[in-house]
């Protein structure tokens, strides 16, 4: 058996258009090894995977891999729909998943996996010549069975939940039978049972001969992992066998906001209302699939709620009714801010009172605008800034940048920031208009543990007033802020109310 490295970086330095991201890396992947890549936000973890996957060239030093095309050896699992231009063009906007007609414009899971994607807008299917299926139906069924998506093959891609999408993208890569599989935060956004299932899938993949390299967190290292690489500021801070991994100290407490600015922000008066949300027998269905089934729920002004439930239980659909992103709003009886939905208010009247953050909003948000414009767009609830600000609005944006201590990011494009920094900026966007209701849907997804703790503590700081109402979604109990006292649990579309 050969013990020559499958992949090797020798004094490798890597640059993105924004500057150096990795420096002087010496690392090798030997047969039989499986690596977890750890590190704080902005440490270079995703850039490390992009280098191994051939997406980022080595500026100096060497990247050594087997001869021939790298893509025949290494497969990098996609994080979203951007892996294919035609798929991306059919998944155009955040609200699409809640609109049955628009969702059906996207390809089915089977079409994506078999590389038989029709151009967007195709009316006459006979006018499009598609290649034969990429894989045998037997092999497709076997892989789909591994990742538990057989029942999804006929579903349209944009109708899938977060967990279902991640399993579909994993299947897409496994079908190619790579020698080395690269995964970036594969457990992000998954509920407890889905995470356990994915751990089992990865352990099985490793046992059957595929080498794994994955970016993850210390709490989600699969049992099959043999080695750990830790990055800090684009350099290797530690590498070695998993059993010898040092215990990292807890980060020191820090002040997350400017106290004087926070006091000003908290004292701003909100619109008068008694109930942020009042739902009566709310039901949402798509064809025969019941997503929400007779939900009765009241959220009083100033209450802090967790909305919990497994992937596909209806959490995002429930929130889409509140944020006015779901066209089935008008088929239901419910009130927002003491006003019956559908009584003449516009979508923008509703959104004006809500600050919203979610992984899906993050996915679809344009990345080319500078941070200050991203934050300013929260004043208008648009995906980017398309108008000139008044002096007062400019002051609001500067106030928020200073409040969250992100003024140093002001002129950087969103694309230049790490995932954690982008999430911080999108929170600033949600807070800029000082909304009475904060809706935070898995805001810590794909953040490292120190940033999760910072985000959770920041939410507690921002919600220390009875004027602020909070709806918080998470799959991890430790991510839920201490201010949360009530919980709505969803299971197969049904809701149960309780105390935290």
User: For residue range 65-118, what is the model confidence (pLDDT) as tens digits?
Assistant: 988 778 788 999 987 766 666 666 655 544 445 554 555 667 889 999 999 887
Nearest to 77 by CA among 152, 184, 204, 179: 184
Determine, yes or no, domain membership for 183.
yes
pLDDT at 91: 56
pLDDT at 247: 80
Tell me the mean pLDDT in the region 235-251.
86
Q: What residues contact residue 302 under an 8 Å CB cut-off, 6+ apart?
A: 465, 466, 467, 468, 469
**CA–CA separation, 368 and 36 (whole Å):** 31
What sign for the dihedral angle of Cα 360, 361, 365, 370? negative
Give backbone dihedrals phi and psi of 420, rounded to 5 degrees, phi first: -65, -40
Q: Which residues of 422-438 are buried (b: 16+ CB within 10 A; e: fewer)?
A: bbbbbbbbbbbbbbbbb
183 and 319 belong to one structural domain: no
191 and 233 belong to one structural domain: yes
350 and 400 belong to one structural domain: yes
192 and 317 belong to one structural domain: no
Q: How many CA atoms lie within 13 A of 365 on its CB side?
A: 32
How confident is the prediction for the chain on average, in pLDDT? 86
Q: How would residue 1 be classed by pLDDT, with cut points 50, 70 and 90? A: very low
Question: Which of 169, 190, 213 is the last residue before a domain boundary?
Answer: 169
414 and 307 belong to one structural domain: yes
112 and 148 belong to one structural domain: yes
Determine, yes or no, domain membership for 284.
no
Determine, yes or no, domain membership for 463.
yes
Give backbone dihedrals phi and psi of 206, rounded to 5 degrees, phi first: -65, -40
CB count within 10 Å of CB 142 equals 14
Answer yes or no: are the C-beta atoms of 256 and 454 closer than 8 Å. yes
Nearest to 334 by CA among 18, 325, 343: 343
pLDDT in tens, 172-226: 999 999 999 999 989 887 888 888 988 999 999 999 899 999 999 898 999 999 9
Answer yes or no: are the C-beta atoms of 158 and 97 closer than 8 Å. yes
pLDDT at 100: 47
Give whole-number Cα distances, 81 to 88, 162, 467, in Å.
5, 12, 39
**CA–CA separation, 300 and 277 (whole Å):** 7
322 and 199 belong to one structural domain: no
pLDDT at 94: 44
> Count of domains in the chain?
3
Answer yes or no: are the C-beta atoms of 365 and 414 closer than 8 Å. yes
Whether the per-residue pLDDT at 448 is higher than 80: the answer is: no
Q: What angle do helix axes 137-146 and 162-174 make, rounded to 10 degrees?
A: 130
> Could you tell me the strand order of the sheet in which 333-336 lies?
289-300, 275-286, 333-336, 339-340
Q: Tell me what percent of the residues of the chain surpass a pLDDT of 90.
A: 47
482 and 355 belong to one structural domain: yes
Determine, yes or no, domain membership for 486.
yes
Q: Is 484 helix (H, G, I), strand (E, B) or coil?
A: coil
488 and 395 belong to one structural domain: yes
pLDDT at 93: 44
Beta-strand (E) ranges in 220-274? 227-232, 235-241
Tell me the mean pLDDT in the region 42-61.
93
Q: Is the pTM of this model over 0.85?
A: no
Determine, yes or no, domain membership for 128.
yes
382 and 448 belong to one structural domain: yes
Answer yes or no: are the C-beta atoms of 153 and 108 closer than 8 Å. yes
Whether the per-residue pLDDT at 299 is higher than 80: the answer is: yes
pLDDT at 397: 95
pLDDT at 42: 80
**CA–CA separation, 41 and 44 (whole Å):** 8
Determine, yes or no, domain membership for 278.
no
Between 55 and 94, the higher pLDDT residue:
55
Nearest to 350 by CA among 339, 361, 359: 339
**CA–CA separation, 466 and 24 (whole Å):** 51
Whether the per-residue pLDDT at 298 is higher than 80: the answer is: yes
pLDDT at 251: 57
124 and 266 belong to one structural domain: no
What sign for the dihedral angle of Cα 384, 387, 392, 398? positive
Tell me the mean pLDDT in the region 401-424.
88
Written as six digits, the tokens of 166 are: 């991640």
pLDDT at 62: 95
pLDDT at 467: 83
Tell me the mean pLDDT in the region 433-448.
87
pLDDT at 89: 60
Answer yes or no: are the C-beta atoms of 128 and 118 closer than 8 Å. yes
Q: What residues contact residue 374 under an 8 Å CB cut-off, 6+ apart?
A: 365, 384, 385, 414, 425, 426, 429
pLDDT in tens, 117-176: 876 655 566 667 888 999 999 999 999 998 889 999 998 887 787 778 888 999 999 999
Give whole-number Cα distances, 481 to 63, 184, 298, 453, 500, in Å.
43, 26, 20, 9, 11
Written as six digits, the tokens of 369 are: 């605008």
Written as six digits, the tokens of 99 are: 């609109």
pLDDT at 350: 82
163 and 183 belong to one structural domain: no
Question: Which of 139, 169, 199 is the last residue before a domain boundary?
Answer: 169
**CA–CA separation, 195 and 22 (whole Å):** 30
Determine, yes or no, domain membership for 253.
no
Q: How many CA atoms lie within 13 A of 147 on its CB side?
A: 24
Answer yes or no: are the C-beta atoms of 7 and 64 closer than 8 Å. yes
DSSP state of 155: S
Tell me the mean pLDDT in the region 384-390.
89
pLDDT in tens, 465-493: 888 999 999 888 888 999 999 999 999 88
Nearest to 403 by CA among 366, 324, 338, 458: 458
Determine, yes or no, domain membership for 24.
yes
Output the 3-class SS for 182-204.
EEECCCCCCCHHHHHHHHHHHHH
**CA–CA separation, 377 and 176 (whole Å):** 41
Whether the per-residue pLDDT at 440 is higher than 90: the answer is: yes
Q: What's 3's domain CATH number?
A: 3.40.50.300
Whole domain around residue 128: which residue ranges? 84-169
Question: Which of 130, 149, 169 is the last residue before a domain boundary?
Answer: 169
């Amino acid at each position: 058996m050969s013990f020559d490295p499958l992949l090797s970086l020798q004094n490798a330095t890597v640059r993105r258009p924004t500057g150096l991201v990795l420096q002087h890396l010496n690392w090798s992947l030997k047969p039989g090894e499986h690596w977890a890549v750890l590190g704080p936000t902005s440490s270079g973890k995703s850039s490390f995977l992009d280098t191994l996957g051939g997406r980022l060239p080595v500026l100096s030093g060497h990247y050594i891999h087997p001869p021939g095309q790298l893509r025949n050896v290494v497969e990098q699992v996609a994080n979203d729909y951007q892996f294919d231009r035609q798929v991306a063009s059919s998944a155009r906007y955040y609200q699409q998943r809640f609109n049955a007609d628009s969702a059906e414009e996207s390809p089915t899971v089977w079409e994506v996996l078999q590389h038989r994607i029709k151009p967007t807008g195709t009316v006459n299917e006979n006018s499009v010549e598609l290649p034969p299926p990429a894989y045998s139906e037997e092999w497709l069924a076997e892989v789909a069975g591994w990742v538990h998506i057989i029942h999804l093959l006929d579903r349209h891609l944009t109708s899938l939940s977060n967990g279902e999408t991640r399993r579909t993208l994993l299947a897409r890569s496994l079908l190619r039978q790579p020698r080395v599989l690269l995964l970036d935060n594969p457990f992000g956004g998954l509920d407890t049972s889905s995470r356990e299932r994915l751990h089992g899938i990865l352990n099985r993949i490793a046992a059957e001969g595929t080498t794994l390299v994955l970016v993850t967190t210390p709490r989600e290292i699969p049992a099959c992992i043999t080695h750990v690489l830790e990055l800090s500021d684009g350099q290797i801070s530690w590498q070695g066998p998993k059993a010898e991994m040092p215990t990292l100290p807890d980060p020191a407490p820090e002040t997350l906001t400017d106290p004087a600015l926070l006091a000003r922000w908290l004292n701003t008066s909100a619109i008068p209302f008694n109930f942020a949300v009042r739902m009566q027998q709310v039901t949402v269905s798509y064809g025969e699939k019941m997503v929400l089934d007779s939900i009765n729920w009241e959220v009083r002004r100033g209450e802090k709620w967790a909305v919990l439930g497994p992937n596909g239980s209806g959490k995002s659909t429930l929130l889409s009714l509140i944020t006015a992103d779901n066209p089935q709003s008008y088929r239901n009886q419910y009130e927002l801010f003491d006003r019956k939905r559908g009584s003449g208010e516009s979508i923008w009247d509703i959104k004006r009172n809500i600050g919203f953050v979610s992984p899906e909003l993050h996915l679809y948000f344009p990345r080319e605008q500078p941070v200050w414009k991203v934050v300013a767009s929260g004043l208008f609830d648009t995906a980017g800034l398309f108008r000139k600000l008044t002096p007062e609005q400019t002051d609001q944006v500067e106030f928020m940048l200073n409040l969250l201590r992100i003024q140093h990011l002001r002129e950087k494009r969103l694309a230049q920031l790490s995932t954690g920094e982008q999430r911080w900026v999108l929170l600033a966007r949600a807070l800029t208009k000082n909304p009475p209701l904060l809706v935070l849907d898995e805001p810590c997804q794909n953040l490292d543990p120190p940033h999760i703790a910072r985000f959770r503590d920041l939410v507690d700081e921002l919600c220390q007033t009875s004027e602020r109402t909070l709806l918080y979604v998470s799959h991890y109990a430790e991510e839920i802020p201490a201010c949360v006292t009530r919980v709505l649990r969803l299971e197969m579309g049904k809701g149960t109310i309780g105390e935290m």
